[in-house]
A and B are shown apart, each in its own frame.
Chain A
Amino acid sequence: MIVCLAVISKANAPLLVRTYVDPSLGEDQADTTIRFHHIVHTSLDVVQEARAGDRHVPACRRWCAATRDMFLGHLCPMDEYEVYGYVTSTQVKILAVLEETVTSRKSELAALLHTIHGFYVNYQLNPFSPLNQPIGSERFKLAVDRQVNGYNADIG
């Protein structure tokens, strides 16, 4: 189950952080948001992890070149979660925080992140969308929610 979906700019600023935590668990919404922001922020270090070599080419790019895919797969465990990542050619990152590791549903998750990438591109094609600013569009948020809820509803 996806508990958090984040879109991060190439400057590593969060553009959108959506959480999907069951409110009946009693956690305050503000606390949830902070907690997941922290998870996302820490995960970015994995994505950006410096390695020996050309500073113009971030680690994740070599990763992509190796996998031939924008979907990076599993990035790292974080607290009780597993973080999965996706990086576009423009260095926009999409992170999915899940409750469990994904094995049989990996291609589904990859497809979901790919779809959200598409939403992001469409959003950028709207001249009213400010460049490199947090995403305020309700349409975008709803589209992302629909994808994630669809994935989460499909368990088993």
Chain B
Amino acid sequence: MASAAAAAQSAAGAAGAPGKRLVNDVCVDMLLLEASSYLLGRRGKPGEAEDLEAENFRELHHSAIARLESLGWDVGCRLTERLCQTKLLSGEPLEAVKFICKDFWTEVFRKQIDKLQTDHRGTFVLRELNFKWLAKYAPDKSRTDRNLAWFTLQFACGLVRGAMATLNQPATVKADFWDEKTDRSLLPAVSFTIRLKQA
């Protein structure tokens, strides 16, 4: 018994190329949902529904938002260390962003970013046309959905921010799915904006 467990542990943990082990992506969905619930302090208390559909959701829950983003940052840092273990990167910001769009995005979302744009002055816009994590939300129909979808998105922002930091390109990362002009949701499309912090 000891050798079976040890063998599984050491084989899986052996130094080498990024592992190929996979899990059902519903596990991630469920985990994020539960983590979000926990951070938002949802305990089925009265008044909770109003809380989540509030217009000033971002102010009300600024602490939970920061914590979820920071959770993402932590994961982004560690995962990046792993994913570029055998990948030689030049250190150019564009190469770091491309790594996120291709390698990183593939491991987390099983697809690459659909479109990357840059102004070559430190701003990058990543367009994801089918962001699965937000598939169940209907932001056009419900303010609560809009708030919760945006909340979930902060974890992804943290992932990207952590990845950039680990690749030595500290940046701010924002994301949204709301079109201000038409006042409508663009889901499942999401845009991420990465702005390099000028040293």
Q: Do chains A and B touch in the complex (CB under 8 A)?
A: yes
Interface residues of A (CB under 8 A from B): 10, 54-58, 61, 64-65, 68-70, 88-92, 114-115, 117-122, 124-125, 127, 131
Residue pair A89, B92 in contact (C-beta under 8 Å): no
Residue pair A70, B15 in contact (C-beta under 8 Å): no
Question: Of A54, A89, A125, which one neighbours B167 at CB under 8 angstroms?
Answer: A89
Q: Closest Cβ of chain B: how far from A28's Cβ, in Å?
A: 34
B44 near A: Cβ within 8 Å?
Answer: no
Q: Tell me the complex Cα distance, A119–B74, Å.
A: 19
Q: Tell me the complex Cα distance, A65–B87, Å.
A: 12
Q: Tell me the complex Cα distance, A54–B15, Å.
A: 33
Residue of A nearest to B81 (CB): A124
Residue pair B16, A89 in contact (C-beta under 8 Å): no
Could you say which residues of chain B place their CB within 8 Å of the CB of A127? 74, 78
Q: Tell me the complex Cα distance, A121–B78, Å.
A: 8
Residue of B nearest to A11 (CB): B168
Q: Tell me the complex Cα distance, A151–B91, Å.
A: 31
Could you say which residues of chain A place their CB within 8 Å of the CB of B129? none
B85 near A: Cβ within 8 Å?
Answer: yes
Residue pair B81, A119 in contact (C-beta under 8 Å): no
Interface residues of B (CB under 8 A from A): 13-16, 74, 77-78, 80-82, 84-85, 87-93, 166-169, 199
Residue pair A131, B74 in contact (C-beta under 8 Å): yes
Could you say which residues of chain A place their CB within 8 Å of the CB of B88? 64-65, 68-70, 89
Could you say which residues of chain A place their CB within 8 Å of the CB of B15? 114-115, 117-119, 121-122
Could you say which residues of chain B place their CB within 8 Å of the CB of A90? 80-81, 84, 166-168
Tally inter-chain residue pairs, CB-CB below 8 A: 64
Q: Closest Cβ of chain A: how far from B94's Cβ, in Å?
A: 10
Q: Tell me the complex Cα distance, A54–B93, Å.
A: 11
Q: Closest Cβ of chain B: how far from A29's Cβ, in Å?
A: 29
Could you say which residues of chain A place their CB within 8 Å of the CB of B89? 89
Residue pair B78, A57 in contact (C-beta under 8 Å): no
Could you say which residues of chain A place their CB within 8 Å of the CB of B16? 118
Residue pair B77, A118 in contact (C-beta under 8 Å): no
Could you say which residues of chain A place their CB within 8 Å of the CB of B80? 90
Q: Tell me the complex Cα distance, A52–B16, Å.
A: 35
Question: Of B14, B77, B84, B87, which one neighbours A131 at CB under 8 angstroms?
Answer: B77
Residue pair A124, B92 in contact (C-beta under 8 Å): no
Q: A117 with B91: in contact, given A10-B168, A122-B15 (CB under 8 Å)?
A: no
Q: Tell me the complex Cα distance, A127–B78, Å.
A: 9
Q: Closest Cβ of chain B: how far from A4's Cβ, in Å?
A: 21
